[in-house]
Structure 1
Amino acid sequence: MSVPSDLPVVAFVGAERIARAPLHRALPAIHAAAAAGEGLLVFDLVDGRVVDLDLRGDLAGARARLGPALVPMAEKRGPGRPKLGVVAREVTLLPRHWDWLARQPGGASVALRKLVEGALKAAEGPDRARRAKEATYRFMTAMAGDLPGYEEATRMLFAGDWTAFDAAVEGWPEGVRETAREMARGAWRNGAGRVGPSPARGEGTP
């Protein structure tokens, strides 16, 4: 299975971070490290998993094997009611629920959609924090599992204590430390967390 060319990745040789960018931009550094036979690991910055790349042959060949970008195509809309992709399904409610929905502006369908959208937005923060914690944990386990402070950093990550987490990772190699801090930033309820230094020369941002 090919990997999307715009996937945000971070690459390490040992504990040294050699690239942090969308995959198509990071690929030259990644390919060079693989060709040199160095201990290379590439991580998906979104979910923290190791990315399996086909780096055989030259750089052009490796680039040609990348999948298409994940950027969704904008939906073309003409005049009139936009296409919402509405799906009709049976909903069972009590009579008083139907009475309340019927009194809402736009009727039952509009009111139900608004209620669901509100619930989705309310859950967005906790869901984002959970995903950030899981991704950071995967990355830390692979890159820092044997480093001092790993167990404490893990506990503080899932406890939601960014100050203690920040202190626990302070002694780690710079690239590992700042990547962990960056990935964990979405895990904190108040959006706190130290912002790492600017990317090193040759690195970019997704």
Structure 2
Amino acid sequence: MNQITPHQVIAFAGAKRIASGQLELVALKAKELIDRNDSASILIFDGLTSEQVEIDFRGSAEQVLQRLSATEAVAAAAETSVDAQETARGPGRPKLGVVGREVTLLPRHWAWLNQQPGGASVALRKLVEDAKRRSEERDQVRKAQEYAYRFMSAMAGNQPNFEEATRAFFAGDQSRFEELSEPWQIDIRDHARTLAARAFASAE
């Protein structure tokens, strides 16, 4: 589970959505419910990735927010440290961030690369960038599917037609998915459809 998230979140008590928005506000809403019913089952999901967000609800609401703030500060410090390491300049060609690695190719591949403008290194970089651009759309679809399925598997696994609905989802059949998910409990169904719509849109 994630300790902190930069995205907006959505919280469920059982199958009912209780709050969505900024993490601190959602945490307070969940805390209010837990204070009224300490047996309440609360799940909080990152609004983009559907990763579950873990919050320590012990103590007062102020203490809960203090712990969240402390966790955010630690996460921000860690990210700043990583960024500083990535921008540190080493020997060689620091502005490009060039990393030397061994590449094994057949002689005819080397012959073709060496004939390209700029030589083998420039040609290889161009090939990689072109392949990266072509794969971006597929990667977006895959990620959107992964995020939606992560939520559905956590919250909709016991809903009617779950397996058939997920097959339609991965097949890109939006109308069939919506038909099969219609009997799901409303808040679960609506959020699952919101996430699924991102995957369908990415695939267009």
Query: Normalization by structure 1: what TM-score?
Result: 0.74
Higher helix share: 2
Task: Give me the whole-angstrom Cα distance separating, in 2, the residues matched to 1:189 and 1:2.
Answer: 27
Gap runs ≥5 in structure 2 = none
Work out whether residues 128 and 186 of structure 1, in 8 Å CA contact, stay in contact via their aligned partners in 2. Answer: no
Query: Considering only aligned residues, what root-mean-square deviation do their CA atoms show, in Å?
Result: 3.1
Task: Give me the whole-angstrom Cα distance separating, in 2, the residues matched to 1:29 and 1:64.
Answer: 15
Task: Answer yes or no: is 1:102 the counterpart of 2:114.
Answer: yes
- Choose which of 85, 99, 103 in structure 2 pairs with 1:91: 103
Within-5 A mapping of 1:1-206 = 3-36=3-36, 37=38, 38-66=40-68, 67-68=71-72, 83-188=95-200, 191=203
Post-superposition offset of 1:5: 4.6
Post-superposition offset of 1:121: 2.6
* Stretch moving more, 51-60 or 157-166: 51-60
Deviations 1:1-40 (A, max 9, x none): 8722524321112222122224234222222223332321
Work out whether residues 3 and 55 of structure 2, in 8 Å CA contact, stay in contact via their aligned partners in 1. Answer: yes
Task: Give me the whole-angstrom Cα distance separating, in 1, the residues matched to 2:24 and 2:98.
Answer: 36
Identity of aligned residues (%): 45
Work out whether residues 156 and 188 of structure 2, in 8 Å CA contact, stay in contact via their aligned partners in 1. Answer: yes
Gap runs ≥5 in structure 1 = 193-206
**In structure 2, do the counterparts of structure 1 residues 82 and 30 end up closer, same or farther at CA, with 3 Å as the change threshold?**
farther
Post-superposition offset of 1:180: 0.5
Which of structures 1 and 2 has the larger relative contact order (alpha carbons within 8 angstroms, sep 6+)?
Answer: 1
Work out whether residues 185 and 191 of structure 1, in 8 Å CA contact, stay in contact via their aligned partners in 2. Answer: no
Q: Write the letter of the residue equivalent to 1:12.
A: F
Post-superposition offset of 1:44: 2.7
Post-superposition offset of 1:90: 1.2
